[in-house]
Each structure stands twice: as structure tokens, then as C-alpha cells.
Amino acid sequence: MDIFERIKNDEGGPLGQYRKKAHGYFMFPKLEGQIQPKMMFNGTEVLAWTFNNYLGLANHPEVRKADAEAAEKWGLGYPMGARMMSGHTELHEKLERELADFEQKEDAYLFNFGYQGMVSTIDALVNRHDII
């Protein structure tokens, strides 16, 4: 048996037995439709918990238009990753200024994903003597 045949016939490693019992949930889910709180999976409507779409704006027409304009200007992958490593654009700075003005604060800083925001915020506010 070659490697491709072995992979095709693989039972899914240690989680394979659970994948079968759970009707396919221990695998990469193939969701159908636009990103939203409820999506279709294997013909059944399910709750989608995993998207970074907390405010439900991913499919808002204005957001989609701005996304298309940004992709036209900078391409689909820029910036890619943490700002400290891959940089940012003037749109990031503009949004930070607008957010600071809206909140009536001197400045604002946005993180491009939740984990980075939490780790950076916690690191800035606490020290090794704090219990959180």
C-alpha cells in the first residue's frame, strides 16, 4: 500500500473512533453558505462557534465593499500576521484614530486577532506578583 492509499484509508488516528461515533464531527467540517451564527453542515443547520465574526459584520454590505476595495489596493494577503512582524497600512492608523476620537481617548491600538490582544494587554497591565 502506498502513502496515498494509506492516507485515504486512514481511520483518523486516535480520534478516528470518535469521529465515526459523532457522525463526522471529529474532522474538518465543510460548512455551507456565508459566515453567520447558524450554518449548514452535512445538511443540518448547526451553530457556528469558531469564526472571528463576533459582531456579525462579516457579510454587511459596507464591510464587504471596504474589503473588496482594500483587496484591490493591497492584495488579499497584506498585511499578513502580527503587525509587529508584517506591518500595517494607513487604514489601521485611520481606524485607530477614529476609534480614539469616538471613545474620547488620546489614542487607541487595535490587534488583528483576539489572542494577541489578550496576551499583550495582560502583559502590559500585570506583573509576576499579580494573581489573575
Rounded Cα gap, residues 75 and 97, in angstroms: 24
Query: E strands within the chain?
Result: 31-32, 38-41, 44-47
Mean pLDDT of the chain: 81
The domain locations on the chain are: 3-47, 61-125
How deeply is 34 buried, as exposed, middle or buried, from its count of CB atoms within 10 A (0-12, 13-18, 19+)?
A: exposed
pLDDT tens-digit readout, 49-58? 777 777 888 8
Q: What angle do CA 62, 102, 113 make, to 5 degrees?
A: 60
Task: Give the pLDDT band (50/70/90) at residue 59.
Answer: confident
> What's the Cα-to-Cα distance from 63 to each of 1, 60, 68, 84, rounded to whole Å?
49, 5, 9, 25
Task: Give the pLDDT band (50/70/90) at residue 18.
Answer: low
